Chains A and B, each alone.
Chain A
Amino acid sequence: MLLTNIKNIFIGAYSICQGFRVTFKNMFKKQVTLNYPVVKKSMTDRFRGMVDLYPEKCVICYQCNKICPTAALELEHKVLEDNKTKKIVKFVFNGELCCFCGLCQEVCPTNAIFLNKMYEVSYFAHKDLLEINLMVHDKYKHVDGGIEPPLYHKEGDGGVEGGVK
């Protein structure tokens, strides 16, 4: 009885020493964090950032508007006098409602709308986030960060060919 108690004390002490060894080894391993904001990490190719648009590619099919789960995209168009060409009147993205799911970039038939690589998104005024005009080319110039579309989105680099239709 006494002997088992003494043995238990030694086993307990040994287990604590093992724990110390683990933390001691970890003190000398390389750090896994980055010294942000001095060092910044670049995002992966398929990262889903803010919604962005190439206005010249848009064919005004309204697929992105219909598929958005939170109705964050507003689109209006008008037909010109020759009754054939359509022109976008308003294409506004609501940054507050968007849940960054990426469904809009999947359904777009011409790869006009996409999600870029921006992750440092802060605005000083709430209304700036509510109505981001997608037709302007320098809408995100106040923050730096990548504004490229993902590769697979363009020419079928492993993704679903041409997006989910």
Chain B
Amino acid sequence: MGELLTVNMGPQHPSTHGVLYLELKMDGEIVVDCKPHLGYLHRSIEKIAENRTYTQFIPYTDRLDYLASMNNNLCYCMAVEKLLNVPVTDRAQYLRVIIAELNRAISHLVAIGTFAQDLGAYATPLFYAFRDREKIMDLFDSICGARLTYNYMRIGGVSADIPVGTEQLIKDFIAYERKMLIEYNELLTYNVIFLARSKKIGILSKEVAANYSVSGPILRASGVKWDLRKEEPYLVYDKFDFDVPVGTNGDSWDRYKVKLDEIEQSLRIIEQAIGGIPEGNPVSKVNRVFRGTGEVYLRTENPRGELGFYLVAEGGFMPYRCKIRSPSFSNLSVLPELIKGLNISDAVCVLGSLDIVMGEIDR
């Protein structure tokens, strides 16, 4: 073994999703060691939370994991509702489930598209995924007015009711997306080059995953059947019938396939929920000035894993401390274990399959 080469897969790079700086030590073309340097996107969101009221902080939670904004909003609002004992109307529960599952579907589409791009399928699966994503973003645009940072959930419900005609649009989307999922399978999933590039690459065993507290689709691809929507049901998830897809080997292909299957399961949940939204108010009529004491930790199932909010309140209008447990941070910590001994091309494949978002790693 000669001397090791230190290579900077620097903060700006086409294949790292965001500003991630990986310092790789390589022996020829094989990676021997990897050290991630974080903090290039740090915006001190947790400190800002100590100086904003509970409602004012909701736009900041949008910008944590910006690909799944609705789920972030949801987790924060549920944490505040548990802390301050704010009731939620039934209609709001159903609307929240539908919107959260739609956001899960489009977040997984981005993961699939960018994974294919990292492997070299230049832009075509990415554009197809974004074409499907546009339909839902237009829908969200008509519901709440924005396409990426929604600021839709409020403490006690949602900010506005869905306009007339939304249910039909969602039903059309479900039928359309089912056809597109068949296309993705034909174009990418069973393609021999794709299989050769991603099977048996970056195998994550159950024990290592549990030790690094990995969560989300990555954990499920390693064979552990753990989904917070089934283990600790929140909102009205216990009323719906859906499966939890589990992988067999824990390699990159399994992580990709689990995400594809989860889109189908999300469509199933939405289909069941659309039929029976109860009438009522979209937000509960309580005093909109929130204050209280206590501490709470609440976790929900984000598209990327388990997002947790730890809130401490001491009687004022603003929380005393807000700590965010982000799923991508724990998922990224398993990267040095996985890429030891792999080529550079395989290292990029593993990083793409882990599906991290720097916004929530650095906060």
Chains A and B share a contact (CB less than 8 Å): yes
A-B contact count (CB 8 A): 94
Q: How far, in whole Å, are A121 and B257 apart by their CA atoms in the complex?
A: 41
Q: How far, in whole Å, are A91 and B187 apart by their CA atoms in the complex?
A: 55
B94 on interface, CB distance cutoff 8 Å: no
CB distance from A153 to the nearest CB of B (A): 9
B124 CB contact (under 8 Å) in A12, A23, A43: A23
CB distance from A135 to the nearest CB of B (A): 24
Q: Which residues of A contact B190 (CB under 8 A)?
A: 15, 18
Contact-residue size bin, chain B (C-beta under 8 Å from the other chain): 35 or more
Q: Which residues of B contact A12 (CB under 8 A)?
A: 192
B144 CB contact (under 8 Å) in A18, A46, A67: A46
Interface contact B151-A101, CB-CB below 8 Å:
yes
Q: Which residues of A contact B163 (CB under 8 A)?
A: 45-46, 152, 157-158
A54 on interface, CB distance cutoff 8 Å: no
B193 on interface, CB distance cutoff 8 Å: yes
Q: How far, in whole Å, are A101 and B141 apart by their CA atoms in the complex?
A: 13
Interface contact A19-B191, CB-CB below 8 Å:
yes
Q: How far, in whole Å, are A99 and B134 apart by their CA atoms in the complex?
A: 22
Chain B 252-285 interface 0/1 with A at a Cβ cutoff of 8 Å (1 = within)? 0000000000000000000000000000011100
Closest A residue to B162 using CB positions: A158
B164 CB contact (under 8 Å) in A67, A158, A165: A158
Q: How far, in whole Å, are A48 and B152 apart by their CA atoms in the complex?
A: 12
A69 CB contact (under 8 Å) in B60, B144, B162: B60
Interface contact A160-B282, CB-CB below 8 Å:
yes
Contact-residue size bin, chain A (C-beta under 8 Å from the other chain): 35 or more
B10 on interface, CB distance cutoff 8 Å: no
Q: Interface centre among B144, B145, B160, by most A CB within 10 Å?
A: B145
B6 on interface, CB distance cutoff 8 Å: no
A136 on interface, CB distance cutoff 8 Å: no
B213 on interface, CB distance cutoff 8 Å: no
Chain A 96-126 interface 0/1 with B at a Cβ cutoff of 8 Å (1 = within)? 0001111100100000000100000000000
Q: How far, in whole Å, are A131 and B56 apart by their CA atoms in the complex?
A: 23
A88 on interface, CB distance cutoff 8 Å: no
Interface contact A22-B186, CB-CB below 8 Å:
yes
Chain A 1-38 interface 0/1 with B at a Cβ cutoff of 8 Å (1 = within)? 00000000001110110110111001000001000000
Q: Which residues of A contact B188 (CB under 8 A)?
A: 19
Q: How far, in whole Å, are A16 and B282 apart by their CA atoms in the complex?
A: 49
Q: How far, in whole Å, are A45 and B131 apart by their CA atoms in the complex?
A: 22
Chain B 56-86 interface 0/1 with A at a Cβ cutoff of 8 Å (1 = within)? 1111100000000000000000000000000
Interface contact B142-A21, CB-CB below 8 Å:
no
Q: Which residues of A contact B143 (CB under 8 A)?
A: 46
Q: Which residues of B contact A160 (CB under 8 A)?
A: 159-161, 281-283
B239 on interface, CB distance cutoff 8 Å: no
Known contacts A16-B191, A21-B186, A67-B55; is A150 also within 8 Å of B145 by CB? yes
CB distance from B176 to the nearest CB of A (A): 12
Closest A residue to B166 using CB positions: A158
CB distance from B319 to the nearest CB of A (A): 14
CB distance from B173 to the nearest CB of A (A): 14
B138 on interface, CB distance cutoff 8 Å: yes
A44 CB contact (under 8 Å) in B60, B142, B283: B142
Interface residues of B in 151-207 (CB under 8 A from A): 151, 154, 159-164, 183, 186-188, 190-193
A22 CB contact (under 8 Å) in B59, B141, B164, B183: B183
Interface contact A164-B193, CB-CB below 8 Å:
no
Q: Can you sample 15 A-B contacts with CB below 8 Å?
A: A12-B192, A15-B192, A16-B191, A18-B186, A19-B186, A44-B141, A68-B56, A69-B59, A100-B146, A101-B151, A157-B163, A158-B161, A160-B159, A164-B55, A164-B288
Known A46-B142, A68-B56; further 19 A-B contacts with Cβ < 8 A:
A15-B192, A16-B191, A18-B191, A19-B191, A22-B183, A32-B134, A43-B141, A44-B141, A46-B141, A48-B145, A67-B55, A102-B144, A102-B151, A159-B161, A160-B160, A160-B281, A160-B282, A160-B283, A165-B288
Enumerate the 3 nearest inter-chain pairs by beta-carbon distance, A residue then B residue, closest first.
A12-B192, A101-B59, A48-B145
Binding site for A on B (CB under 8 A): 52, 55-60, 124, 128, 131, 134, 138, 141-146, 149, 151, 154, 159-164, 183, 186-188, 190-193, 281-283, 288
